[in-house]
A and B are shown apart, each in its own frame.
Chain A
């Protein structure tokens, strides 16, 4: 998603929160090195920020500090300018959607009861809850009549994750925290759910902080990627900048910047699109990546492709030179 897209969303949805970390640390008693080490970071309202890094880098800890599942030991965390400790922890959490990998659903509750958890904690009346449950099931692509009365064990992994997402969205939170929500899914289901999440985020526009160790997922979803290592931020930038200009060897390695084809797979055609109309027989959609574009050039023996937008109209071109310059190492 482009920066321009974010601005429009926040204009339409003033109910997205800003999150500010000011010199935040988490030091567990009896450990020498803090799990989160003096982090300062601002997440703008409506932004989709991905925390990316290897296991043990502190990304999940940083995420859980926001809804106080873990308490920070230094610095301040502000949501819409209010320090999170100025709220009781349960009240704070009811305002923040939280999605985790796999086990998040309550196995003894039906789908509708799972989704209704936060609204019922907030004492919504029954008709309003029932209406909201059906609207959310529809939003996440599950027909309410087929799914509302099922138990989580009667759902596939992908369906469970959709219900988890619906539950997190139930009380219209202004912030969503997502901890590797698609980590346990197969590649096809994962990519489908990433598309759905992208669509839901463009539709609802809340602020999302999303943890993953998967660079492709990060590039696909993020407005901004925050690369972490040993409790610190190594680089905070747009996906394109991180792939094109990794801050150091660690980030370059993490995003696979040295592997030409991998680099190309992380850059979308839209990122390097040249707004010139050319005579080209073959077309490629703007959201395809440069590896696919290169493949098409080789396959067709041509040097340029016409680029089409979602409606199928030609918006520009991409040629071999452009791909080559994007592929050169940092």
Chain B
């Protein structure tokens, strides 16, 4: 086990890292687009909590490889990036929705009533007061989902979705430990860096700056 592969092929490792990041970013963007309205729905309509959270829990229990295999025959998805994005977005739902609900419910009800009292409409209360105040907790939830997605995106190389996972699968099939190590190091570094950036973002939100 040595760093020969990483040293000799650092350009390729870097390319795959960018590719991996892109796959993660697209998947999370799609995931947020679904999770945000779902989270708001569950927050304001308590009755939807059980079916929504239950459904997401069921999705989460499907083994990821099985989910990928199930999507291969689906027209429009098949082998490749699209199936990977669908699976990654679906797996992020549980963590995202759960944290969005916790973040939105964590905002002081008295502050929300004060917001209504000033004459804000429902949407203005949400956008101007509730979401900004929930933002630090929202980003904390996003951080957890992001790190999970980065590691899960390794598996999706199995359906030719690209990313750093291809180094691992390739290294295993060629019995080339140095290549596996290069992949592992790159994935870990990527996860740590993105985690750090989101931690800083968490502290930069107006709500957390204001209380320091």
Contacts and interface: CB of A to CB of B under 8 A. Distances in A.
A in complex with B: yes
Interface of A: 67, 69, 90-95, 98, 100, 102-109, 117-118, 121, 151-153, 167
A91 B116 contact: no
B115 to A, nearest CB: 7
B110 A109 contact: no
B210 A90 contact: no
Contact of A69 (B117, B124, B210): B117
B77 to A, nearest CB: 41
B117 A107 contact: no
A108 B132 contact: yes
A108 B121 contact: no
Given A100-B110, A106-B111, A67 B210 contact: no
Interface in B109-132: 110-111, 113-121, 124, 129, 132
Given A151-B209, A167-B118, 11 more contacts: A90-B124, A92-B119, A93-B119, A104-B117, A107-B111, A108-B206, A108-B210, A109-B206, A118-B118, A118-B119, A121-B118
Contacts of A107: 111, 133, 207, 210-211
A109 to B, nearest CB: 7
B4 interface: no
Given A103-B108, A103-B111, A121-B124, A108 B207 contact: yes
B118 A93 contact: yes
Contacts of A93: 116-119
A292 B106 CA distance: 49
B122 to A, nearest CB: 9
Given A69-B113, A106-B111, A90 B121 contact: yes
A151 B124 contact: no
Contact of B114 (A90, A98, A121, A151): A98
Given A106-B129, A107-B133, A107-B211, A121 B206 contact: no
B116 A69 contact: yes
Contact of A90 (B119, B211, B212): B119
Nearest to A177: B117
B75 to A, nearest CB: 47
Contact of B211 (A92, A94, A103, A153): A153
A126 B180 CA distance: 59
A107 B132 CA distance: 10
B111 A91 contact: no
Contacts of B108: 103
**Interface-centre pick from A91, A92, A95, A103 (highest chain B CB count, 10 A):** A103
A302 to B, nearest CB: 52
Contacts of A109: 206, 210
A100 B117 contact: yes
3 smallest CB-CB distances across A and B, nearest first, come from: A94-B119, A93-B119, A98-B117
B110 A104 contact: yes
Contacts of B209: 151
A117 B129 CA distance: 11
A17 B68 CA distance: 66
Contacts of A106: 111, 114-115, 129, 133
Contacts of B211: 107, 151, 153
Contacts of B205: 108
A223 to B, nearest CB: 24
A151 B132 CA distance: 14
A108 B131 CA distance: 11
5 contacts: A94-B118, A98-B114, A104-B111, A105-B114, A118-B119
Interface in B133-172: 133
Contacts of B121: 90
Contacts of A152: 210
A93 B113 CA distance: 12
Contacts of B129: 106, 108
Contacts of A91: 119
Contacts of B117: 67, 69, 93, 98, 100, 104
Contact of B210 (A98, A100, A121, A151): A151
B202 to A, nearest CB: 14
A64 B162 CA distance: 59
Given A103-B110, A151-B210, A108 B124 contact: no
A103 B113 CA distance: 10
Given A69-B113, A104-B110, A117 B118 contact: yes
Nearest to A179: B117
A164 to B, nearest CB: 9
